[in-house]
Structure 1
Amino acid sequence: MTDFPGANAALDTAAYAIVGAPLDVSTTFRPGARFGPDRIRTFGQPFDEYDRRTGTHFGALVADDGDLPAWDDAAEYLSFLEGDLAEHHTAGRIPLLVGGEHTVTVAGVRAAAPDVYVCLDAHLDLYDAYAGNELSHATVTRRALETVDEAILLGVRTGSEDEWNRAAAADVTVVEADDVGSWEPTFDGDAYLSVDIDAADPGFAPGTGTPAPFGLSPRALRNVVRAVAPKSVGFDVVEVNDRDDGQAAALGAKLLQEFVFSHADA
Structure 2
Amino acid sequence: MAFPGASVDRKRADYAVVGAPLDVSTTFRPGTRFGPARVRELAATFEDYDHHTDSHFTDCAVSDHGDVGAAGAIDDAAEYLTFLEGELDDLRADGIVPLLIGGEHTVSVAGVRSVEPDVFVCLDAHLDLREGYAGNPLSHSTVTRHALEVADRAVILGARAGSEAEWERADEADVTVVPPGEVSAWTPDFADESIYLSVDVDAADPGFAPGTGTMEPFGLTPREIHDVVRSVAPHAEAFDVVEVNDRDDGQTATLAAKLLRSFVYEHATASDSE
- TM tier, smaller: over 0.9
Task: Tell me how far 1:55 sits from its aligned partner.
Answer: 2.1
Mapped partners of 1:140, 1:49: distance in 2: 33
| Cα distance in 2 between the residues matched to 1:3 and 1:237 | 16
Say if 2:174 is the partner of 1:203.
no
Q: Is the 8 A contact 1:16 1:63 kept in 2?
A: yes
TM-score using structure 1 length: 0.98
Aligned AA (1:48) = E
Q: Distance in 1 between matches of 2:52 and 2:247?
A: 32
Q: Does 1:228 align with 2:232?
A: yes
SS across alignment from 1:117: strand
Q: Counterpart of 1:182 in 2: which secondary structure?
A: coil
Equivalent residue runs for 1:65-76 within 5 Å: 65-69=65-69, 71-76=74-79
- Structure 1 unaligned residues grouped into runs of 5+: none
Distance in 1 (CA, whole Å) between partners of 2:119 and 2:162 is 21
Counterpart among 260, 263, 266 of residue 267 in structure 2: 263
Deviation, 1:129, is: 1.0
Note the alpha carbon deviations across 1:213-249, whole angstroms, 9 max, x for none. Answer: 1000000000000010000001000000011000000
User: 1:106 and 1:58 mapped to 2: Cα distance?
Assistant: 27
Identify the match of residue 141 of structure 2 among 125, 138, 144: 138
Of residues 145, 150, 153 in structure 2, which corresponds to 1:150?
153
Structure 1 position 52, deviation (Å): 2.1
Alpha-carbon deviation of 1:126?
A: 0.2
Per-residue CA shift, 1:77-120, capped at 9, x if unaligned?
00000000011111000010000000000000011111100000
C-alpha distance in structure 1 between counterparts of 2:48 and 2:148, whole Å: 35
Counterpart in the other structure of 1:64: 64
| Residue pair 1:126, 1:138 contacting (<8 A) in 2 also | yes
Q: CA deviation at 1:65?
A: 0.8
Measured in 1, the distance between the counterparts of 2:267 and 2:136 equals 35
User: What's the TM-score once normalised by structure 2's chain length?
Assistant: 0.95
Q: For residues 128 and 166 of structure 1, what CA distance do their matches in structure 2 show?
A: 11
Further displaced range: 46-55 or 168-177: 46-55
Shift of 1:187: 2.5
After superposition, what is the alpha-carbon deviation per residue over 1:111-144, rounded to whole angstroms, capped at 9, x for unaligned? 1111100000000000011111111100000000
Cα distance in 2 for residues equivalent to 1:45 and 1:112: 29
Contact 1:185 1:228 in 2 (8 A): yes
Instruction: Please give the alpha-carbon distance, in whole angstroms, between the structure 2 residues aligned to 1:53 and 1:193.
Output: 20
Measure the CA separation in 2 of the matches of 1:96 and 1:22: 14
Asked if 2 retains the 8 angstrom alpha-carbon contact of 1:120 and 1:195, the reply is yes
Task: Give the % identical residues.
Answer: 63
Structure 2: how far apart are the matches of 1:221 and 1:213?
A: 15
Contact kept? 1:5, 1:49, Cα under 8 Å = no
Structure 2 unaligned residues grouped into runs of 5+:
none
**Equivalent position amino acid for 2:202 in 1:** D
**What residue is the counterpart of 2:15 in the other structure?**
16
Match of 1:250 in 2: 254
What number of residue pairs does the alignment pair up? 265
Q: CA contact under 8 A between 1:193 and 1:229: conserved in structure 2? A: yes
> What residue is the counterpart of 2:172 in the other structure?
169
Structure-2 separation of matches of 1:234 and 1:167? 24
Instruction: Give the letter aligned to residue 68 of structure 1.
Output: V
Task: State the 1:56 CA deviation.
Answer: 1.9
Q: 1:226 touches 1:259 (CA, 8 Å); kept in 2? A: yes
Aligned pairs for 1:28-67 within 5 A = 28-60=27-59, 61-67=61-67
- Choose the corresponding residue for 2:243, options 239, 242, 250: 239
Corresponding residue for residue 191 of structure 1: 195
Q: What do residues 149-204 of structure 1 show as CA deviations (whole Å, max 9, x unaligned)? A: 00000000111000000000000000011110111111330110000000000000
Amino acid at match of 1:23: L
* Structure 1 runs (4+) greater than 4 angstroms displaced: none
